[in-house]
Amino acid sequence: MVAFPIMRSPLALLLSLSILLSTILAAGKFTPEIMLSLKRRQYAAPNPEGTFALYTSTQWDFKANADSYVLGVYNLTNGTTEKDRTLLFSNSSSISNALWLGDGTMFVWFVWEDDGSTTVKVGDAVKPEAEPITAGKIPGFADGLKLVELSKGNYAVAFFGTADSDGKLVNFSAQQTPASSARMYTQIFVRHWDSYVAPQKNSIWYTTLSSEPSGYTLGQPINALNGTGLESPLPPFPDPSQFDIGKNGIVFTAKEPKLPQATTTKSDIYYIPLKTFQESPPTPQVILTLDLEGASSGPVFSPNGFSLVFLSMKEHAYEADKNRIMFVADITKSVTSEEFYVTPDGNGGWDRSPISVTWSVDGKYLYLPADDFGRSRLFSVAADPKLKELPQIIFAEGWVDRAYPVIDGRILVSSESLLDNSIYSWVDPVISGSKNATEGVTLIDANLKYGAEWGLSRSQISEFWYKGEGDYQVHSWVVRPSFYKEGEKYPLFFYVHGGPQSANTDWWSYRWNLALWAEQGYIVVAPNPTGSTGFGKSFTDAVQNEWGGRPYRDLELAITHIEASMPEIDVANAVQVGSSYGGYMTYWISGQPLGKKFKAQLVQDGTFNTVQFYATDELWYIQHDFNGTLWDNYDNYDRWNPARFTKEWMTPMLIVHSDLDYRTPVTDGLAAFNVLQSKGIPSIFLNYPDEGHNIRNAENSLIFHKTMFDWLNGYVGLPRYSDEGDLAYRATLQNGPWILNGK
């Protein structure tokens, strides 16, 4: 296949397009419609014996304009194919929070009822035809179910929901609409992520679930936080990883109510001691972290219920600070924690930031997923903060989603990769740890078979390192089309990730799918410049007050490296794309010399004017990254402001920005579009009134992909993606001429 410069004879262009189209079609092309219609299988949660696992999946049907739902039981011991191994338990979308109930195949789940209440059911996972037991009803919406066995057949249960001002669980179906729509605020937050802040707060409830001759009975739920002023799980993404239940009580993450909520990340782990889980809650106790003043997260009780492990950051206003492993030996005797790998300089002896922590079944080891050189790897370490041996890698490839140990010592790992959205594997931590994860890992199933149906394979994916702006190396992913041929040139698709403290990794994405882009006929290059995670704390931290500095120069040097050593990439025929911080960087690039290298650009939800960044929600984010406040450090905000360089803008640009994005408000996208239009630069503004920082609706995502490929492909000579007769797509045009293929 040949990539096409703009200036070509019509005959040569037609011939090249014909060759390209036949090559792509022969490959059984991976398309946006296929990607968005895939079964989205979630992590597998095994029973203690490791014989069965519970999982859920959803799948969008464009013809029916609806999702299908599955609660499935995966046989981990019998069957050679997914069909043989899988038992459908239910396809009701109202079922959620399935958890194993002790040993064997019994489990408990929530049913979200139409009247706004939640029913608790118990059944046998391998007998879906049997009538389940109704254990009780919760009067409002409940989520995040957790439980621990207190004695044979008797369990302590915890869940979260929304509490009103009286501490009662909110039933959203029973709420009345106020006469006025006015909202008044006397402190921030006003809005957070994609919604305005309401007076109701998240809270945790606990009770008991007891087995009886006639079945199971749920006790009366008790609000653990009533009257404390604390909120948990924390918004805007409340989830069960923020609390845990053990035989000796409940632990949870919360912020001190008197702290300024929008300007500090500081949160603590609190402990509520309980014995019967029917008594009233005592005053929560703060777990002490000594000199660590940042966010604490992910508290997990040990299997015996006495020890506690969690993660904590040092800085009070840095959301991407390194997570440190914290340990409490016996929470019934002391609430003071110890830090793993303490060093005199305060940086810690392990230069990685774990995402979560899981205990081994015997309580002797901890398993920690962490970003590491463009992947999320699983590490193992002995559960003793006094030991100095660094964690061992026990699972090395892709992106670890969940890790569940079972009784025999193995770990069921759910992961994903650039070519598959759900992979199940067994890991033997003893063998794998001793062999640096080159042995001891057994694949159970890859949901998409690594894209084989569409001609995809790992041979398309490679990596390279190049010298950055300073004395350091920068990592980059490369994804080639499945129909790539040696000796031919392909246009460049240059992608800048968000964050900036994030990374391009070996993981699956429905928004930014590198393999999907490559199948259009591009070679995709996705660098990890300064600020990226997984390459050491100092590399991540160096983006502070350098938003348009070191990362930009790293990206310039990536292009220099490609020009010098990758002749298969047609750098003269390139497009550039970025989202969130990557969108900011796209605006910045457009006003810098590098912008002249690209024939077209795309921005999703990017920051255009850093001086106006105080319209965002989480002020700690910008005050850390710009090293101060706007009034005390104005020059820091102005120095890296893309709006200062709009006189240099020349590159055609597609801007995608949604109304419910309160992290980077839609006015940034509108302002940039106004500049482009006023300057006569070809441009499109694609807007979603019902989306936030991420496009989640499948129909909206399809329009996004059609618009993206129609826009970018035309500037590099690749075929238009959409069908001219696609009326639903064309109906999105509100004014102005229809633009396809950059014309």
pLDDT in tens, 420-440: 999 999 999 999 999 999 999
Q: Is 277 left (phi over 0), alpha (psi -120 to 50) or beta?
A: left
pLDDT of residue 257: 95
DSSP H or E segment with residue 298: strand 296-301
% of residues, the chain, pLDDT over 70: 96
User: Exactly one of 541, 661, 668, 710 is catalytic; which is it?
Assistant: 661
pLDDT in tens, 41-89: 999 999 999 999 999 999 999 999 999 999 999 999 987 777 889 999 9
CA 504-509-513 angle, to 5 degrees, is 75
Q: Determine whether 580 is an active site residue.
A: yes
Full-model pTM: 0.94
Q: Is the pLDDT of residue 2 over 90?
A: no
Cα–Cα distance measured from residue 251 to residue 234, given in angstroms and rounded to the nearest whole number: 13
Nearest residue to 719 (alpha-carbon basis) of 12, 8, 24: 24
- Which residue bears the tokens 């019994």? 106
Average pLDDT over residues 523-529: 99
The secondary structure of 554-596 as a DSSP string is HHHHHHHHHHHH-TTEEEEEEEEEEETHHHHHHHHHHTSGGGG
Structure tokens at 518: 């490559």
Residue 487: count other Cβ atoms within 10 Å of its Cβ: 6
pLDDT of residue 59: 98
Q: What is the 3-state secondary structure (H, E, C) of 481-540?
A: CCCCCCCCCEEEEEEECCCCCCCCCCCCCCCCCHHHHHCCCCEEEEEECCCCCCCCHHHH
- Which residue bears the tokens 């441009």? 683
pLDDT of residue 742: 58
pLDDT in tens, 297-340: 999 999 999 999 999 999 999 999 999 999 999 999 999 999 99
Number of H helices, E strands in the chain: 13, 40
User: Exactly one of 316, 561, 624, 693 is catalytic; which is it?
Assistant: 693
Cα–Cα distance measured from residue 340 to residue 381, given in angstroms and rounded to the nearest whole number: 10
CA 183-618-253 angle, to 5 degrees, is 95
391 secondary structure, DSSP code:
P
- 352 and 397 in contact (C-beta within 8 Å)? no
pLDDT of residue 727: 82
Average pLDDT over residues 514-521: 98
User: Exactly one of 312, 476, 532, 580 is catalytic; which is it?
Assistant: 580
Q: Determine whether 661 is an active site residue.
A: yes
Q: Kindly list the structural domains of the chain, giving each domain's residue range(s) and its CATH number in brackets, ordered by start.
A: 491-730 (3.40.50.1820)
418 secondary structure, DSSP code:
T
Cα–Cα distance measured from residue 606 to residue 583, given in angstroms and rounded to the nearest whole number: 4
Q: Determine whether 194 is an active site residue.
A: no
Residue 520: count other Cβ atoms within 10 Å of its Cβ: 24
pLDDT of residue 743: 59
Cα–Cα distance measured from residue 535 to residue 528, given in angstroms and rounded to the nearest whole number: 9
- Given the DSSP bridges, would you call strands 324-328 and 308-312 parallel, antiparallel or unpaired? antiparallel
